[in-house]
Amino acid sequence: MKATIATLLAAAVMARAQVATTSEPALTQIAAAAATTKPESPISDVKGLAFDRFYQVWLENIDYEVAAADSNLQWLASQGILLTNYYAVTHPSEPNYCAAAGGDTFGMDNDHYHQVPANVSTVADLLDTKDISWGEYQEDIPYAGFQGFNYSNQETHAKDYVRKHNPLMLYDSVVKNDTRARQVKGFDAFFADLDDKKLPQWAFITPNMTNDAHDTNITFAAKWERSWMSTLLKNDYFMDNTVVLLTFDEDDTYHKTNRIFSILVGGAIPDHLKGTKDDTFYTHYSTIASVSANWGLPSLGRWDCGANILELVANKTGYVNYEVDMTNLRLNETYPGPMADGHYAKFSPVWPIPATEANCSAGHGILDIVKKTYAGLQASHNYTTPFPVDSKNDYNTNVTITRKPSNSTTTTSAAPSVHTTKSGAAVAATAPNMAMTGAMVALFAYLI
């Protein structure tokens, strides 16, 4: 009997230590690890400028117009602010989840088993600078910190939990630390943490492949989301100064702009803004920048650096967001990098070097460990633009961005106000576009 327990424990340890392989642990190993692994639920109460809790719930692969036509999503939008100009950053799924945690896709153009090296920091490191608790809730992950590629429904064999939809799991800087890995837990832990009042201040929530529309459709997923959210909207503990971003990983039509239907709900949304729209240009990188600006955290020095900040927060810091002319912006593709396999991007073995010196939108410099790790190295890109640009490969170099001069009396250390600027190297040909007014940009956003 003792030997059996020892074997089971060894299997459990092995299952957890299994980081460097795409092979699936055996079901017996999963069961053993599930029996012994306890989720980690750190808590904190660090006040933010616009919210004290920031959660995201991502559904899958739906075009903006399709989502906008769904009555349950319309109802959710009526409970908060609809973001009409929010974009995913590439295709397919995994690089978008990757971007939301670490501020880059690293050229990823596929859904493979990737491990981002431990010298790449994530939003978790930003939050840790002020001991702001964080976690993830991944529906049907078999146990906290599970690193397998997928976990299927054991009765129907339908795909259920998938690692590619789990942002922090892709990063060795998170999963090589057992405590951090166990902050990535299941929906059972969400309801336990809710009951115990042990919810973290930052969380990423991924419903399973049925509920998130991946293997169903928007009607099914929106019904799920409304039902899940409406219970929480009535929960005072959950709602207290909370913002929940309800969005999608990407759109479904690859030649479109990748605009995705996104809603902010929660107790931190002022009543007079419920049922309103915000037309500011945002991307998945804006989630990191907004969290940094809200809690006074540094930047990763990647695409979060120049990302626009949710108006809810920008209004408090005085940061002036950019308006972006969508004509030549390609957020449906990505640029070469070490995680490309040639589907939509070229492979390049070079891991991008983040900025170590830059004025980022959040206004609190760059994370110390990033400055230390990449000291003296030239940043791979101009990370202060509000969307990814790769001038070597002529990616997003001909996009016009404008900025309304700020007449606000609030001042910050954020980037200086630029009235009109170009995102990349090729300055010559777009003079007419540079005169595009904010109103025209807004009108354009409605037309696409």
Ligand X SMILES: *[C@@H]1O[C@H](CO)[C@@H](O)[C@H](O)[C@H]1NC(C)=O
Q: Is 285 helix (H, G, I), strand (E, B) or coil?
A: helix
Q: How far apart are CA 265 and CA 74, in angstroms?
A: 12
Q: Establish whether 215 is a catalytic residue.
A: yes
CB count in 10 Å sphere of residue 376: 5
Q: State the nearest-atom distance from the C-beta of 315 to ligand X, in Å.
A: 4
Helix axes 285-295, 93-102, angle to 10 degrees: 20
Q: How far apart are CA 60 and CA 200, in angstroms?
A: 24
**Tokens encoding 221:** 């997923």
Residue 58, C-beta contacts closer than 8 angstroms, at least 6 positions apart: 97, 165, 204, 205, 206, 212, 247, 248, 249
Q: How far apart are CA 265 and CA 268, in angstroms?
A: 8
Q: State the nearest-atom distance from the C-beta of 58 to ligand X, in Å.
A: 15
Torsion of CA 302, 146, 198, 244, to 10 degrees: 50
**Tokens encoding 346:** 């070229």
DSSP 3-state helix, strand, coil percentages of the chain (rounded to 5)? 35, 15, 50
Q: Identify which of residues 6 and 350 has a Cβ nearer to ligand X in the complex.
A: 350
Which residue of the chain is nearest ligand X when measured via CB?
153
Q: How far apart are CA 365 and CA 358, in angstroms?
A: 7
Binding site for ligand X (CB under 6 A): 24, 117, 119, 128, 139, 148, 150-153, 158, 160, 177, 179-180, 208-211, 216-217, 219-220, 254-255, 273, 278, 311-312, 315, 327-328, 330, 332-333, 344, 351, 357-359, 373-374, 382, 384-385, 398, 401, 407-409, 416, 418, 421, 423, 426, 429-430, 433
Q: State the nearest-atom distance from the C-beta of 283 to ligand X, in Å.
A: 14
Q: Identify which of residues 6 and 241 has a Cβ nearer to ligand X in the complex.
A: 241
Q: Identify which of residues 261 and 351 has a Cβ nearer to ligand X in the complex.
A: 351
Catalytic annotation, pick one of 215, 249, 251, 325: 215
Q: Identify which of residues 188 and 278 has a Cβ nearer to ligand X in the complex.
A: 278
Q: State the nearest-atom distance from the C-beta of 238 to ligand X, in Å.
A: 18
Q: State the nearest-atom distance from the C-beta of 27 to ligand X, in Å.
A: 6
Active site members: 215
